[in-house]
Amino acid sequence: MLINNSIFLQAINLMLQVSSFQKPMSLRYQINLRILISSLCILLLGGSTAIWQARNAVAKEVDSSINLAVQLIQFGLSQASRAETDWLPQFNALKETRHLNIQLKAPSGETTRIARKNQSANYQEKPPQWFIKLVEGKYPKAEHLITAFGGKQITLIIQANPLDEITEVWEEGIGFFSSLFLLTLFTFLAVNLAFDKALKSISVIVNALKVIETGQYQQKLPNFSIQEYDSIAKAINHMTGELNKSQQENRALAQHSLEIQEDERQRLSQELHDEMGQSLTAIKVMAVTAAHKKADIKQTTDSIISVCDHLMTVVRSMMQQLHPLVLTELGLKATMEDLLNHWAIRNPALKLNIDCPDEVDTLEPKIAIQVFRIMQECLTNIVRHADAKQARITLEIMTPTLTRRSLRLQVTDDGQGCAAEMIKTGFGLLGMRERVNSLGGELAIQTQPRQGMSIIASIPLK
């Protein structure tokens, strides 16, 4: 082949490399680019094959024409019996012979060219010179010594002139590459029409995702006629539905937390007013009374001591509600045992058991307080709703590998349980789930009606 294929392939590779450093291309552009590259490769392969076949075809055609002309001339002259002036016009009859230049050379060296019709005049245009150089090859020159009538020796010279055949090949090539161009154009149109609907679907999905990104989880994608896009749309709609549900649950939980906070503040304010205010007023009155000479000092001091003891009890109770001091002073294990004793005294019919290693006292404070609050909520739910006879709390530190540790809390009761669809309706369970999620853990709830409930929290440790 005369065409340097490596240069063309290097140009394609360079174009692909340059495009890879630019911003991401659209799907339509990438498809059209690949069709264009494929068409160029087909053009290169087809052009190289066509030129190779044209060279072979022209060479065979020219050789055949030379051999045929020589044989016909030799046969005609061997049958001639007329004078020289009679057989010379027979050579002129060869003017319609294609691909050949025929000459007669006398012994004196004088050359006579046989007139021939310019066949290339039948074609609209002459092939370009570069195409002629690619197709044209080196053809043999045939010389034959002919004995004319009267014994005169004449040399017959036949040379190839493949312009007619090259012109035909050129016109056939023009037809081939025109068909290839039309086919490529048709492919471009067909592919773009086929992908137009798909690309519009992608645009709809992208626009919907941009809306969802702003937090508008009510956005829903329509149904698509293309199965793959319809599956994507259904998956996105399911995702937005879950996100919307979680958003609503978080808002409700936040609102519930604010309401609890306000109720707690109101209750603390009421207790401070009722207990602290009245007790301090009573102490002040007794102190003023003790200032009189006739006052019973012992009775007054006993009353003040009694009021102060009551105030200390109220303050301890308030502090315990705000934050368990025993957790800071004695650790998580002692705090959990104290909590169980508190519930056991208030609910003697409920049997509570705990299995907790001493190692839990080394947990980080933020994990310890969350675990305490989760267990506190679990016990509250068991007492209020489970109607259970016994409950067991298990707390253990799991070490599956040397680099991975986790805390596992399990609270199990033999109470009423509930249906699975009712699990997400309570703020207590939602609050526990949020506490576990805030620590990077997972919360699992196992329950069946009349078969009790088991709450398992797994929290990773450093």
pLDDT in tens, 365-396: 889 989 998 998 899 889 888 888 999 999 99
Residue 240 domain-assigned? yes
Are residues 230 and 140 part of one domain? no
Q: Which domain holds residue 152?
A: 5-194
pLDDT for residue 26 is more than 90: no
Higher-pLDDT residue of 116 and 270 is: 270
CB 188, CB 157: distance < 8 Å: no
**What is the spatial distance between Cα 250 and Cα 252, in angstroms, rounded to a whole number?**
5
What is the number of domains present in the chain? 3
Question: Could you tell me if residue 273 is inside a domain?
Answer: no
E strands, 75-134, in order: 100-105, 111-113
Residues 380 and 252 in one domain: no
Q: Is residue 86 part of a domain?
A: yes
Residues 351 and 443 in one domain: yes
Residues 163 and 73 in one domain: yes
Q: What is the pLDDT of residue 82?
A: 45
As a dihedral over the C-alpha atoms of residue 167, residue 172, residue 174, residue 177, rounded to 10 degrees, the angle is -150
What's the pLDDT at 20? Answer: 47
* Whether residue 394 is found in the same domain as residue 441: yes
Position 411 scores a pLDDT of: 93
Lowest mean pLDDT among 320-324, 400-404, 424-428: 424-428
424 and 359 within one domain: yes
Integer Cα distance of 192 and 30 in angstroms = 11
Residues 9 and 148 in one domain: yes
Asked if the structure places residue 204 within a domain, the reply is no
DSSP letter at 148 equals -
Strand 390-398 with 351-355, pairing:
parallel
pLDDT value at residue 390: 92
**How crowded is the C-beta side of 69, counted as CA atoms within 13 Å?**
30
Mean pLDDT of 240-266: 79
For residue 207, being part of any structural domain is answered with no
- Vertex 150, ends 146 and 156: CA angle to 5°? 20
| In a shared domain, residues 147 and 229 | no
Who wins on pLDDT, 236 or 29?
A: 236
> Higher confidence at residue 233 or residue 325?
233
* Residue 296 lies inside a defined structural domain of this protein: no
Clarify whether residues 61 and 176 are in a common domain.
yes
Least confident among 6-20, 284-298, 346-360: 6-20
For residue 255, pLDDT beyond 70: yes
Contact between residue 154 and residue 105 where contact means Cβ atoms under 8 Å apart: yes
On whether both 333 and 396 belong to a single domain, the answer is yes
Residue 390 within a domain: yes
Average pLDDT over residues 123-133: 71
Task: Report the pLDDT value the prediction gives residue 84, as an integer from 0 to 100.
Answer: 45
For residue 209, being part of any structural domain is answered with: no
Q: How far is CA 75 from CA 72, 80, 146, 201, 307, in A?
A: 5, 9, 11, 78, 151
The dihedral sign for the CA sequence 22, 23, 27, 32: negative
Same domain, 49 and 159: yes
Pair (49, 176) in one structural domain: yes
Q: Which of 367, 342, 357 is nearest to 397 (CA)?
A: 357
Higher pLDDT, 108 or 461: 461
Per cent of the chain over pLDDT 90 is 7
